[in-house]
Structure 1
Amino acid sequence: MNTTLKIGLMGLSATLLFSQCAPQKTEEVVEEILVEAKTPTLTLLWETEASLPTNESVLFDEATGTIYVSNIGGMDPQAKDGKGSIAIIDRDGKIVNPVWVGGLNSPKGMAISEGKLYVTDIDELVEIDISTAKVSNKWKVEGAIFLNDVASHEGTVYFTDMNTGKVHAYADGSISMVSEGHASINGIAVAKDGTIYGLDGSGLKMWNADGTASVVNANVTGGDGLIILGDGNFVASRWQGEIWFASADGETKMLDTKSAESNTADIGYNAAEKILYVPTFFKNKVAAYKLDY
C-alpha cells in the first residue's frame, strides 16, 4: 500500500534589466517533487526461549507492562487434557513464570477487564483473578465448539467461536450472542468508541450500530490476531505465518515466516513502544518485532 504525495515547490527567478524604457520582468518556475511514503515494516527485536508449549496468544497489559502468553500445551488445540497454561514474560523476552496459571485445557485468546484475565478454553470462558493468579470462574458456552479470540471494552468481554461463526459477549455474570453468520471468524478487537472489528473468511470487517457488519478490507481473509492502530489502520496476522498492515485503502505484507514453518497466531501489541508480540505456536516461542509505519 504505497501513497504518493505531490508537493509543489515554488521557485522564483528574476532578471533585472536596467535601462530607461525596460520594465522589470520575472519568471516563475514550479517544480514538482514526488515523495514516496514509508512502507510499513517489522524488525525483529528478540525471541524467547523455545519453552512455551504451543503458544497461541500474547496479551500486553498497558496498565502494568505484564505480558501474558496462553499455551495450549499439547499438539491438539481442542484437547481437554489439562495441559494448558498461562505464562508471563517480560519486555526483554525473559520467561518470568512459565506456569502462572495451570490446569487449563487449550487456552487461546485473552483480554483484561476489571482486574480479571479472561481466556477462551475450547467451549468455556475462563475468568482468572489477576491479583491471586487463581481461576475465579468458568462459564460453559452453549453450543460452542472452538472459542478463540477475546477483546474487552468498558466491562464487556467479547469473544469468537470460529467453528460456529458466532460472536459472544460476557457482562454482569451472563453470556449472550452478539452476532452470527461469520464463517471462520477468529480475531476480534474493539476500538475506544466501542466499534467492534473482526477477521473472518470475508476479510477484515466492522460491526455497524444496527448490528450488521461491513467489510473494511476483503483481501486479508482468514485472519487470526487483530490490532487496531487508529486512523483507519490495522495489523492482522494469519496463523500460517503472515502478518499484514491493512486499511480500507489496501494492505502490505510485513512478515512471512511460512518457509521457516513458524506460525503467527494471536498477536499482542505494546502501543506506546510500537512493539508487536508474535506467538509462533509449534515453535514454542514468542517473537517481538518493532513496527515502523
Structure 2
Amino acid sequence: MKKTLMYAVVAAVCFSCSNQTENQEAQATQNAEATEALNPTLTKIWETDSIMTTSESTLYDKASNLIYVSNISGNSSEKNGKGFIATMKPDGSISELNWLTGLNAPKGMALLNGKLYVTDIDELVEIDVASKKVSNRYPVQDAVFLNDAATNGRSIYFSDSRTGRVHALENGAVTLIAEGLENINGLAFNEEGQLYLLDGAGLHRYIMADKNTEPVNEVVKGGDGLVILNDSTFIASRWDGEIYFISNGKEHLMLDTKSEGANTADIDYIEAENLVLVPTFRNNRVVAYKLSY
C-alpha cells in the first residue's frame, strides 16, 4: 500500500514537471513569435549639422525638456581640455552649443538632484545644472576609460571599459560595484532599480546580492548605449553603426549606418515622442529616429 502511494506521488510529480517544461517551452516559442510580429522600425525625423564634434552620448532630461550631448572633440583617451557639453531641444534645434566647456573626453551622463554627472577618462565630473559650473570632481583609482553612466535615483553608477569594472558614487565616495566584465559599457536601471548592462558577452541583468550576471541576449555583444522600454524590451546600440531592438531575449536589427560612416554611440530615448537619440561620434551629428513597433 505504501509503495503504491509512493509510485503515485512520483508519477504525479513527474507529470507536473513535464507539464511545467512544456509550458515553459510553449511560452518561449510564443515570446519569439511575438517579437517577430512586432517588426520594430526606425524612421529618421531630424539630424543636426556637423557641429557636434565627436558626439558620444545623449541624455534627455524630461524636467527641462532638453537633450544633453557630450562631445569629446578629439581623442577619446586624451586630456586636451577641448571636450564640451551641448544642449538641444527635442525638435532638433540647438539650445546652447557650448553649455559647458573645458572637459577632456566626456562620455556617459546621468542626472541626479540637480547635478549632471559626466565620465571624463579617469574621473567623474559633477556639474551644477543651475549655475552651469563644475561643482566637484571624483577621481577614480586605477581608472583607464570611464564610459557610460546611469542612476537608480540614489547613486550614480558608471563603467570603465578598459578595466572591466563598474563603480558607484554613493554619499560622496566612489566604490567598486563589479569587476571582470570584459568591455563593459552601457548601463541602465529599470523602474524597480534593477541594473542591466552591455559588455563583450551581450546584454545582462546584474544581480547585486551575489554579484552575478544573468544573460538576456548573447548576440548583441560589445554594445554601447542601452535603453529599457520595459522589463523584457530594450534598445541597444553598437558603436560601429548598429541599433537593435531586443524583446524577450530575441534581437532585431533596426538600423545599420556603417556604410555611411556614421557611428551609433551612447543613445537615449524620449518616451513621449518615441524618439531614439543617436550621437554619431565621427560623423559629428545627433540624429533622431522615430521608433515604431
**Which piece of structure 1 moves more, 109-118 or 248-257?**
248-257
Corresponding residue SS for 1:253: strand
Computing the radius of gyration over CA atoms, which structure comes out larger, 1 or 2?
Answer: 1
Shift of 1:73: 0.9
Query: Partner residue of 1:178?
Result: 177
Query: Partner residue of 1:48?
Result: 48
Query: Partner residue of 1:213?
Result: 213
Rounded to whole Å, the distance in 2 between the matches of 1:160 and 1:3 is 31
Rounded to whole Å, the distance in 2 between the matches of 1:248 and 1:204 is 12
TM-score, reference length from structure 2: 0.87
Q: Is 1:256 aligned with 2:252?
A: no
Superposed, 1:120-159 pairs within 5 Å as 120-159=119-158
Residue deviations 1:53-99 (CA, integer Å, cap 9, x gap): 0000000002221100000011x101100000000111111112111
CA contact (8 A) 2:276 2:289 kept: yes
Shift of 1:234: 0.4
Query: Partner residue of 1:16?
Result: none
Query: Partner residue of 1:246?
Result: 246
Superposed, 1:49-198 pairs within 5 Å as 49-74=49-74, 76-198=75-197
Superposed, 1:215-230 pairs within 5 Å as 215-230=215-230
Rounded to whole Å, the distance in 2 between the matches of 1:111 and 1:186 is 14
Change (3 A) 1:217 1:147: same
Structure 2 unaligned spans of 5+: 1-28
Shift of 1:210: 2.3
> Percent identical across equivalent pairs?
53
What value does the CA root-mean-square deviation take over the aligned residues? 1.4
CA contact (8 A) 1:216 1:247 kept: no
Residue deviations 1:201-222 (CA, integer Å, cap 9, x gap): 1100111232211111000100
Query: Partner residue of 1:284?
Result: 284
Corresponding residue SS for 2:259: helix
Q: Tell me the matched-pair count.
A: 262
TM-score, reference length from structure 1: 0.87
Rounded to whole Å, the distance in 2 between the matches of 1:290 and 1:260 is 19
Corresponding residue SS for 1:227: strand
Residue type at the aligned position of 1:176: T
